[in-house]
A and B are shown apart, each in its own frame.
Chain A
Amino acid sequence: MEQGVGMENQAVNDAAGNSDDVAIRVQQLSLWYGTFQALFDVDFDVKRGIITSLIGPSGCGKSTLLRTVNRINDRLGYVRTTGSVEVLGKNILDEDVALPQLRKEVGMVFQRPNPFPLSIRDNVLFGYNLHEASGRRDKGNEDDLAEAALRKVLLWDEVKDRLDQKATELSLEEQQKLCIARLIPVKPQVLLMDEPCSALDPAATEAIEELIWELRGQFTILIVTHNMAQARRASDECAFMLMGKMVEHGQTSEMFVTPEHKETADYIEGRYG
């Protein structure tokens, strides 16, 4: 199984390698929380349409980097940045960036599934209703959107008869799928995932990984993970961070076999973490 995925990985990487179409280009990014510097001159390109995983020990800045891409960290008033983060060709740290527009393009999935305490249907359509003027809504269209989104995350068959059930009553795996489905009607191009499986059991983790693999190609996916095996199984490219610095970034299949840096090798082999 592992072997099979690995080979498929290789083929895909070759295809992706031919195109240098970049969805996210981070250049010389430094970030401070107050006086604490969390990121140091990070340079990082994420290619369009593939899965890139970010690995590294706790506190290495991988979540911070991820959360800079949709500027969800802005809420913390004491965050300061230098450098640039280009998403789809636009530096999103510029003053003229409208956060709602940025976040429509860049969806986010969180560590713990966080569906709203509403019905399944209302959860899926939440973002859509947020952006659609209430006068223009139409029930049939909403039903189609909800179905399409739930089908896309492989959840439709499980929930199609109980769309009015509270989302918080679903299993964690279903909740996490729902949280991904919730993004789809907003039509994002980039999906950020912050350890999306760390609250799930192994079977659910496998299901979510399969789903992420399904979504490959339709979205640019950047995924932070603690789980080395997951990074290896479920990503095309992999980037290793340590102490706020980008140490190494390459194709997953190569990085896990022949890492360039000693720190990467030590981490991958589990000597610290």
Chain B
Amino acid sequence: MFTATQRDLKNLRVEGRYRFVFMAMTVLLVLPVLIILALLVVRGGPVLSAEFLFEFPKNGMTAGGVFPALLGTIILVIVALLASVPLGVAAAVYLSEYAADNWLTRTINLAIINLAGVPSIVHALFGVGAFVVFFKFGTSILAASLTLAIMTLPVVIVATRESLQAVPQAFREACWSLGATRWQTIRAVVLPNAVSGILTGVILEVSRTAGETAPIMFTGAAFFLPFLPESVFDQTMALSLHLFVISTQVPGVPEGLPYGVALLLIIIVLVMNALSIGLRTYLRGKKKW
């Protein structure tokens, strides 16, 4: 009774083999991430200090801190968000809640998905042509942030549209059947239900924006500046470009410095993500969803 046949044993062996392959793939995936993080913490960790965070680079960027680059990255991200979130959310609301499902809408959706696949260097060239030259913003924070905004817009639109479509149709119908207009329904029922999904899209965008180099190096990020930007029409340093510069362009940089910058960049992304998740949880709690 209940003893394994030859066939069962063979199945078990095959089972074990597949299980091993899938697990190995997972390990292969996780391992590089862990190694990179460990390397950064070990080599870059000792560099991080209050001085590193809050001082200007010294001696041709071979010593001192990264304050202007840190501040520049934060400003670039914030300005980019200010441009892309309202635009992206509004566009997604239109596409999901108002637009009829016809060939034009489908074409627009396809275009948005393709926009997400455009290489960042192409966005950079577009940014130079459109914002720096045509709108005469010059190489500036504004031009760089708008370039970043255009680049990350598809992420915001797709994430927003998907979270809007995840709101049950029954909520909309209930609201309409009480005599609400389309906009009243969106404001009172659809957006509050979709807000956490929208924030997830924004989180993704923040991570990407903070680390991008190509789109900003032609449009507003500077090699080195001995002063801080005073308006959005000034240039700024940025962590990602700074990392590139001290790793490849400047001779005599101590080994720990680039690792420190890289670690800082990752910490910024983590902190911003944590803030967004916190905000998301707070909004959910407040709405009693």
Contact = CB atoms under 8 A, between A and B. Distances in A.
Given A110-B170, A117-B289, A72 B176 contact: yes
Nearest to B99: A77
Given A119-B288, A130-B184, A103 B176 contact: yes
B37 interface: no
B188 interface: yes
A174 to B, nearest CB: 16
Interface in A108-151: 108, 110, 112, 114-119, 126-127, 130-131
Given A77-B100, A100-B181, A186-B178, A130 B188 contact: yes
Nearest to A179: B174
Contact of A103 (B101, B170, B178): B178
Interface residues of A, number: 29
Nearest to A105: B179
Nearest to B176: A72
Given A117-B193, A117-B288, A127 B178 contact: yes
A130 B179 contact: yes
B226 interface: no
Given A116-B171, A116-B189, A101 B288 contact: no
Contacts of B102: 77
A104 B179 contact: yes
Contacts, number: 70
Contact of A72 (B177, B193, B289): B177
Contacts of A115: 174
A130 B188 CA distance: 9
B173 A77 contact: no
B180 interface: yes
Interface residues of B, number: 23
Contacts of A107: 177-178
B168 interface: yes
Contacts of B176: 72, 75, 99, 103
Contacts of A179: 174
A101 B173 contact: no
A182 B180 CA distance: 13
B178 A182 contact: yes
A221 interface: no
Interface string B183-207: 0100011000100000000000000
Contacts of B288: 117-119, 166
Interface of B: 100-102, 168, 170-181, 184, 188-189, 193, 287-289
Interface of A: 70, 72, 75, 77, 99-104, 107-108, 110, 112, 114-119, 126-127, 130-131, 166, 179, 182-183, 186
Given A112-B170, A114-B173, A118-B287, 13 more contacts: A72-B173, A75-B172, A99-B179, A99-B181, A100-B180, A110-B177, A116-B174, A116-B175, A126-B175, A126-B178, A130-B180, A179-B174, A183-B178
